[in-house]
Amino acid sequence: MDDRYEKIRDEKRRWAENLLNKRPVERHYTDWFDPIEVLYSPDDLTDTNYLSDSGFPGEYPFVRGIHPDMYLGRTWTMRQYSGFGTAKETNKRYKYLLEQGQTGLSIAFDLPTQIGYDSDHPMSQGEVGKAGVAVDSLQDMETIFDGIPLDKISTSMTINAPAAILLAMYIAVAENQGIHSERLRGTIQNDILKEYTVRGTYIFPPKPSIRLITDTFAFCSKHVPLWNMINVAGYHMREAGCSAVQEIAFSFSNAIAYIEAGLKAGLDVDSFAPRISWIFNTHNKIFEEVAKYRAARKVWADILRYRFKAKDPRSWMLRFHTQTSGVSLTAQQPENNIVRVAYQALAAVLGGAQSIAACSFDEALALPTEKSVRLSLRTQQILEHEAGVTDTVDPLGGSYYIESLTKEMIHEIEELIATIDDMGGAVAAIEKGFVQKEIENRAYSIQKEIEEGKRIVVGMNEYKVKEDVDIALFKSKPEHARSQIEKLQTLKKTRDQARVQSALEAVRRAAEGEESLMPHFIEAVKAYATLGEICGVLRELFGEYRHVQTIR
């Protein structure tokens, strides 16, 4: 070791011994249960090389950001996640948010839409328009975007099993607006593997599900080149209980499986890798979240550059949206959530996010109201304009603590990815129940810490007060579901039935063979075949996935 660092280490040891002799010091641990040092100093970074390990923003390995100027050139997209009730109600909310300064849209779909059922299906009863907006047909999508020019806005759609069909609807709406698909910007989540582990809105088994994804890759590469054809999600696994390291490693392993499927389908990696995007969860520990994003950029760049031999530097870039942590919000003292969300949004900005959605403080109790969602948007706008965090690129770079955490997380993430590789990859790890069990174990340990008071949640298990919730809450309206079903049944009676049947038969023939399904989805939705009808054809041919038991 360099004499300079040896001297620093000796002096730090003397300092620590002096400190600990005077009073006991409480030790803290990372999100993945590794000990955190009392103090970090230059000797913790003796084996790092700035140019190869960090480099400069906009250049490999992208630790300090994927763009040279980051927020000096363009701030992040403010994209509040919203959607409820009918398409008409959701259209009103989107127009309100855009008037308030939101710069992108993010659609929340109701549960029946997410699992491919129409609103009038028996399985949809009690769920229509509850967790998001009901979309049964192209008619609903047309209403959602009425008066919103799709060439002027980017749209994110959190949809997975039927993602290709919803994208087909979006393309058809754009066509009706006179907008060519080459001009569309946005994202579909389209990440089915995490549905098998934590979220549960799957329909088909993995093999046909991944076929739908690779069909989307191929179609978008040619016809919708500005569209992010998959939005790989660590977010939901983190919400289910996994650590920051697990969030990145598990989602990266899923992405590796998608890339391998794309290559097997005959696609060139550089034809689709630049349009892979991400959604991550920004949780409470600010410095760990910042280090997580810095580490993730390096690991992803290495995977694409060295494992998959991608030549285009855009393929190496980790472009991500993040939402603040919904699971961290409490129903007790809900105003405390305003503070939590602000700190989490700060961490996302310091970590270099390209797009952010800030949760609303009342989400532990109900869907956000106009007032609460406006406050979430204002939280981001205050960060942009008043807090000074966008004045320079990667302002926490060079911190001994941040750099040490980044280095440690790179190592931990790579080790966990290697473990999954040894099992045969993400699909095999999921089928064996490994990923599910790892998340369940950590979720249990965290909950146990909270119940035993070892992990403080302010206002819930400490600093409690007796109070009535004195805030206006959103209330869903039963008439929304009734009107949605009535509108759907009217559509089914008045559309061109022969055209619908012909389009569905074309979908069936394509699904039975190896032909791309995307063009047939587009023709089917333009004929006003419903989501449930199209998914019904695929259910007959592909079957439905049955959940596996986790290993014990």
All domains in the chain, ordered by first residue? 50-451 (3.20.20.240)
> Which amino acid is it at 449?
E
CA distance 445 to 243: 11
User: pLDDT tens-digit profile of 364-407?
Assistant: 998 899 999 999 999 999 999 999 999 999 999 999 999 999 99
CB 333 within 8 A of CB 292: no
> Which amino acid is it at 375?
L
Q: Which residues have CB under 8 Å from 274's CB, separation 6+? A: 312, 314, 315, 317
Instruction: Name the percent of the chain lying above pLDDT 70.
Output: 99
CA distance 519 to 539: 19
* pLDDT (0 to 100) of residue 552: 44
CB 399 within 8 A of CB 516: no
Task: Identify the CA nearest to 501 among candidates 542, 533, 538.
Answer: 533
CA distance 248 to 230: 16
81 by DSSP, 3-state: which? Answer: strand
- Residue 288: exposed, middle, or buried by beta-carbon count in 10 A (0-12, 13-18, 19+)? buried
End-to-end CA gap in the chain? 46
Long-range pairs, 49-56, Cβ under 8 A, ≥24: 53/298, 53/407, 54/397, 54/403
Instruction: Please list the pLDDT of the chain residue by residue as tens digits (552 residues).
Output: 577 788 999 999 998 888 777 777 888 999 888 999 999 999 999 888 999 999 999 999 999 999 999 999 999 999 999 999 999 999 999 999 999 999 999 999 999 999 999 999 999 999 999 999 999 999 999 999 999 999 999 999 999 999 999 999 999 999 999 999 999 999 999 999 999 999 999 999 999 999 999 999 999 999 999 999 999 999 999 999 999 999 999 999 999 999 999 999 999 999 999 999 999 999 999 999 999 999 999 999 999 999 999 999 999 999 999 999 999 999 999 999 999 999 999 999 999 999 999 999 999 998 899 999 999 999 999 999 999 999 999 999 999 999 999 999 999 999 999 999 999 999 999 999 999 999 999 999 999 999 999 999 999 999 999 887 777 777 778 888 999 999 999 999 999 999 999 999 999 999 999 999 999 999 999 999 999 999 999 999 999 998 765 544
CB 535 within 8 A of CB 160: no
CA distance 12 to 40: 9
